[in-house]
Every structure is written in structure tokens, then in C-alpha cells.
Amino acid sequence: MAISIWEVSIVDAPLEFPGELSDSDSGAVIDFWGRVREIEDGRAIEGINYEVHRAMAEHQMNLLAEKATVDFFLIGLVLRHRVGFVRTGEASLFLRAASRHRAAAFAASQWLITELKEKVPIWKRPIFKTVAAARSEQQLEEATSG
């Protein structure tokens, strides 16, 4: 039986791809990038400012990683969350779940994202675009597309 390993981190810089897995036991590897959308609560945003209680968040993320690894028989797990200001289109979350079979990797990924949002003290504060900024962007788009 393979030994399960996980990596959990909270970072202040753009998220990076962790590279390929080197184990040969993984029959399924799910890589998920959670990105900041352009619209939040029906309004255009510049991005999201993520605030964190770092020690508590890392602790909770490790508890979730341990539970997911055991419950879903994961071989590997990477869970990274970016904090600070994240522009629209940029990633705020990276998750990799590796298991022998795809069903477990998919189920673990879904479960982890749901639990992360409910239990980990990371708060998001959208930075809404001002009306003037949105108008000038729209005018620029119209001028360059015509």
C-alpha cells in the first residue's frame, strides 16, 4: 500500500503549478484551479482581497487534508490557497488529488472544496469596479473593436 502524502500552503504570491507526480500508483490525478470571476453578486469586480487567520487556516487545511487522504484513499494531495489581492482571471486556489481510481479523486476534490469554503477561516472581500472605471473600460473596448 502506498503512503499518502499531502502538502498544504497559504501563499501571498501567484500560485504555481506543482509539477508532475513521480509515483506510478496514481491511476487518476485531478488538478483544479479556482479562478476569480469578473462578476460577483451581479457586479463587475477588479478582483478579490482574501484575508486569512493564517495559523488557524493552515491547521484546518491540514485536518481536511488528513481526512480526505484517509476517507478517499488518496495517494497524494496538494492544497494551496492564495491570499491578499487576486485579480479577476487569476487563480486563488489550486487543488491536486491523486488516487488509484478516478471516482475517489473526483469525490475528494469536490468534498475538499466544499469543506474548505465552510471551515477554513479565509474571507473574501470583492473589490468592485467603480462606475467611471467600468465606463472607461467599455469605451476603450468599443474604440479598439471598431
The tens digit of pLDDT for each residue in 28-74 reads: 999 999 999 999 999 999 999 999 999 999 999 999 999 999 999 99
CA dist., res. 78 & res. 37, Å (int): 22
Q: pLDDT at position 133, please?
A: 64
Could you tell me the three cell numbers for 109?
Answer: 476534490
Give the contacts of 120 (CB within 8 A, at least 6 positions apart). 57, 60, 61, 64, 81
For the chain, give the number of residues.
Answer: 146
Band the pLDDT of 142: cuts 50, 70, 90.
Answer: confident
CB-based contact 81:116 (threshold 8 Å)? yes
CA dist., res. 92 & res. 35, Å (int): 6
Element (H, E) at 144: helix 131-145
Band the pLDDT of 10: cuts 50, 70, 90.
Answer: very high
Task: Give yes or no for residue 23 having a pLDDT over 80.
Answer: no
